[in-house]
Amino acid sequence: MSLLNLLFFHITTAVPYRIPSEAELNKAYMKTKKMRSILSYIEANYQEKLLLSDVARHEHLSVTYLLHFFTENFGLNFQEYLSNLRYLNNVFKKNYGYPQTIPS
């Protein structure tokens, strides 16, 4: 057991870390909440014609801000995400008979 304690000690002292402030935690929470809201809206409407401006209007954001926010946080642009979602759900529906849903 002392070997495990020694390993834990070395990991905690060698790896830099810091405890985030309350403001940083709140900012991360709000960002996650916004991301979930965006994804929920897309999931509910992806089978219809859906534009970035529709999502921006629903989220009370500018199109430019949402474009950058989406790309930065999801790793691909809105159109790529929407195309991938539609494709994967069509494949899932074809193979299993019903569309896949995005977990909340």
**Residue ranges per domain, the chain?**
22-96
Directed axis angle between helix 63-74 and helix 52-59, to 10°?
100
Alpha helices in 1-104 (DSSP H): 2-14, 22-45, 52-59, 63-74, 78-96
Percent of the chain with pLDDT over 70: 92
Q: What is the pLDDT of residue 95?
A: 85
Identify the architecture of domain 22-96 in CATH: Orthogonal Bundle (1.10)
Q: Mean pLDDT in the chain?
A: 90
pLDDT confidence band for 82 (50 / 70 / 90):
very high
> Do residues 59 and 41 touch, judged by C-beta distance below 8 A?
yes
**What are 44-53's pLDDT values in tens digits?**
999 999 999 9
User: What are the distances in angstroms from CA 17 to CA 13, 14, 22, 55, 61?
Assistant: 9, 9, 16, 36, 34
Rounded Cα distance, 53 and 81, in Å: 15
**pLDDT at residue 3 tops 90:** no
Q: What is the mean pLDDT of residues 81-94?
A: 91
Rounded Cα distance, 65 and 62, in Å: 5
**pLDDT at residue 100 tops 80:** no
